[in-house]
Amino acid sequence: MWGFGDAYERYVGRWSRPVAVEFLRWLDAPPGRTWLDVGCGTGALTETVLAHARPAAITGIDPSEGFLERARQRVPGATFEVGNATDLGGRTADVVVSGLVLTFVPDAAQAVAEFARAGSYVGSYLWDYTSGMRMMRLFWDAAKDVDPAAASHDEGLRFSDVSGAGPLRALWTGAGLRDVEVTGIVVPTVFRDFADFWEPFLGGTGAAPAYAATLPPEQLDAVRDLLRSRLPGEGPIELTAKAWAVRGSR
């Protein structure tokens, strides 16, 4: 799990933390509230809540005991328990949040219904896989040019029913939440050079790296070369990553 966490950090964890900060700023929940972080993983959003939102208490839940173990070591001051988004086990909190989780949940509508039962204020965010998460978009577009079968792995296609302004708004209003608002959060993703951009795709963790791991070496090299030809050849590679965020109240 430590190896997994390190690969995740290099691939996308380093870019998801600034999104968590912007999301909490936008959520603007008052201090002194109780929080539930659903799908907390290794605690990236949980620790950001502790640092920026002055919670009375925060619990992170996740189905993965391995992630929770790492979260407990990394994030003192929070409680971490095994749990599932579609059944929060009767838990309640003033604020229920989830960061980059709903695309992993087989029944997102059931999960949001649980969020709305458990919390007075409910917020979440997901990458804009279809276009704004540039690093992933560039990868999948190059992969599909080399291997048309990559389309069945492309998160922009697989998650279009959940990740987007319209789908998130529909999920929140469908769960009976009120004052629903959706916004785009854009953060800079600046890579030192092409190696800093490409090597995290070889770490096996995340949908694109997992797909890359299945490619024969010639095809993997072809994807790399296509990406290199589409990115600046010299100096840092300055891209952006966009997430869709949604909030509502019960």
Ligand X SMILES: C[S@@+](CC[C@H](N)C(=O)[O-])C[C@H]1O[C@@H](n2cnc3c(N)ncnc32)[C@H](O)[C@@H]1O
What pairs with residue 96 in β-bridges?
36, 122
User: What residues from 83 to 102 belong to the interface with ligand X (CB under 6 A)?
Assistant: 84-85, 99-101
Q: Which is nearer to ligand X, 62 or 147 (CB)?
A: 62
Number of amino acids touching ligand X (CB under 6 A): 18
Q: Residue by residue, what is the 3-state secondary structure of 166-233?
A: HHHHHHHHHCCCEEEEEEEEEEEEEECCHHHHHHHHHCCCCHHHHHHCCCCHHHHHHHHHHHHHHCCC
The crossing angle, in degrees rounded to 10, of helices 134-146 and 217-230 is 130
The reply to whether 105 sits near ligand X by the rule CB under 6 A is yes
Q: Which is nearer to ligand X, 115 or 197 (CB)?
A: 115
**Residue bearing tokens 């691939």:** 11
**Structure-block tokens of residue 217:** 């070496």
User: What residues from 136 to 195 belong to the interface with ligand X (CB under 6 A)?
Assistant: none
Which range, of 32-40, 136-144, 210-218, 224-232, touches ligand X by CB under 6 A? 32-40
Least distance CB 10 / ligand X (angstroms): 13
CA atoms within 13 A on the CB side of 233: 3
Out of 7, 27, 29, 44, name the contact with ligand X by CB under 6 A. Answer: 44
- Interface with ligand X by CB under 6 A: which residues? 16, 38-41, 44-45, 62-64, 67, 84-85, 99-101, 104-105
